[in-house]
């Protein structure tokens, strides 16, 4: 299966423990002191890991910096190998292949106020946004929720930053008074206010459900899932995909993804996350109805049924005709 091509070689200048099960990696150009391509708040890079895996990690340093990229990785016992490889196999001094920064989670330039919500390791793009908003003197507040203080990365960095008073911490094991009151925070959406959220799926679902129920327009909601469980269902069945260019029909078995079936038939679709998160594999659907399992497309985009993510999504009809 193919993935996005690496375009940069970087060296791990520093690997540091930021919190329980969270390590940061400072990446610099392989050639000392060469500047790295610029990035904007909310960007991520694809990191090509030992063993052939590719994972996306958000950049969490000040987007002004060109001498380094800083990423942070949570060791996830349920991971399919990406976070384990970063923690166990990637060491200081090592060279890594990465993509240039890409941004699917940018700041809205016309925002009058920004509300930044981070859950756990989802702090990485959110912290980068806070750096940027603070630098330009924008009006914002950040709420950072995590299970315990010990599992909260970048507490000292935030405390030492000029925007420390704008950041509110919420610990699951803390007292009731400091818990995040989502309904209270999100009530009365204001014109020009934009909400950004990143974190585990349950946290993001809670934030987005509450925001939508409180009347936030979709255009003022910005989110990036950094990991997602691709829901397998009992009803997952075999179906066919047809390539519009050649008319060829390929069967996707019950246990295969569309990209796996295509790859086995010699048809490569570029992938990265393989979890319906990044949109790299997005493919146009010319007929048939996809069974969307991604978290990349908006509900409106999914409902249009004219594109899908073949790394995880399936079909509700016996055949999908794909623009391939
Ligand atoms: Fe990331 Fe399919 S590869 S959404």
Q: Is the pLDDT of residue 1 over 80?
A: no
Query: What are the φ/ψ torsions at residue 28 (nearest 5 degrees)?
Result: -125, 165
pTM of full prediction above 0.75: yes
Q: Point out the least confidently predicted range of 87-101, 179-193, 271-285.
A: 271-285
Confidence at residue 83, expressed as pLDDT on a 0 to 100 scale? 86
Rg (CA), the chain: 20
- For tokens 């069945």, the residue is 237
The region that residue 238 occupies, defined by phi over 0 for left and psi between -120 and 50 for alpha, beta otherwise, is: beta
Higher pLDDT: 219 or 230? It is: 219
Q: Is 118 exposed, middle or buried (0-12, 13-18, 19+ CB in 10 A)?
A: buried
Domains of the chain, earliest start first? 8-98 (2.40.30.10), 113-225 (3.40.50.80), 239-322 (3.10.20.30)
Taking phi over 0 as left and psi of -120 to 50 as alpha, with beta for the rest, 247 belongs to left
Q: 80 C-alpha vs ligand 1 centroid, how far in Å?
A: 15
Say what the pLDDT of residue 313 is: 95
With a 6 A CB cut-off, is 296 part of the ligand 1 pocket?
A: yes
Q: What is the DSSP letter of 61?
A: S
Arithmetic mean of pLDDT, 259-264: 94
pLDDT for the residue 201: 83
Judge contact between 191 and 216, C-beta under 8 A.
no
Q: Is the CB of 280 under 6 A from ligand 1?
A: yes
Per-residue pLDDT reduced to its tens digit, 174-219: 999 999 999 999 999 999 999 999 998 889 999 999 999 999 999 9
Average pLDDT of the chain to the nearest whole number? 91
Helix (H) or strand (E) holding 291: strand 290-291
Band of residue 228 on the pLDDT scale cut at 50, 70, 90: low
How much distance in Å is there from the Cα of 272 to the middle of ligand 1?
Answer: 6
């Amino acid at each position: 299966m193919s993935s996005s091509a690496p375009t940069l070689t970087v060296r791990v200048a520093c690997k540091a423990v930021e919190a329980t099960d969270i390590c940061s990696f400072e990446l610099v150009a392989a050639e000392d002191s060469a500047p790295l391509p610029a990035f904007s708040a909310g960007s991520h890079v694809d990191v090509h890991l030992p063993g052939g895996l590719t994972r996306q990690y958000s950049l969490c340093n000040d987007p002004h910096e060109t001498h380094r990229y800083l990423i942070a990785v949570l060791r996830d016992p349920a991971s399919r190998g990406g976070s384990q490889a970063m923690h166990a196999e990637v060491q200081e001094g090592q060279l890594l292949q990465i993509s240039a920064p890409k941004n699917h989670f940018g700041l809205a330039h016309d925002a009058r106020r920004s509300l930044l919500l981070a859950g756990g390791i989802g702090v990485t793009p959110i912290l980068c946004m806070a750096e940027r908003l603070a630098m330009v003197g924008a009006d914002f507040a950040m709420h950072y929720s995590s299970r315990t203080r010990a599992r909260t990365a970048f507490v000292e960095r935030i405390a030492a930053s000029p925007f420390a008073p704008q950041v509110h911490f919420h610990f699951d094991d803390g007292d009731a008074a400091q818990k995040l009151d989502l309904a209270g925070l999100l009530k009365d959406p204001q014109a020009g206010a934009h909400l950004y959220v990143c974190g585990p799926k349950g946290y993001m679902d809670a934030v987005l459900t509450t925001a939508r129920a409180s009347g936030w327009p979709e255009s003022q909601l910005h989110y990036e899932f950094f990991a997602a469980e691709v829901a397998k269902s009992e009803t997952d069945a075999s179906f066919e995909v047809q390539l519009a260019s050649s008319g060829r029909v390929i069967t996707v078995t019950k246990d295969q993804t569309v990209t796996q079936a295509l790859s086995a038939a010699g048809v490569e679709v570029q992938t990265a996350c393989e979890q319906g998160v990044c949109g790299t594999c997005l493919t146009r659907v010319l007929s048939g109805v996809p069974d969307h399992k991604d978290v990349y497309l908006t509900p409106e985009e999914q409902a249009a049924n004219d594109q899908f993510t073949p790394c995880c999504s399936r079909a509700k009809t016996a055949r999908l005709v794909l623009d391939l």
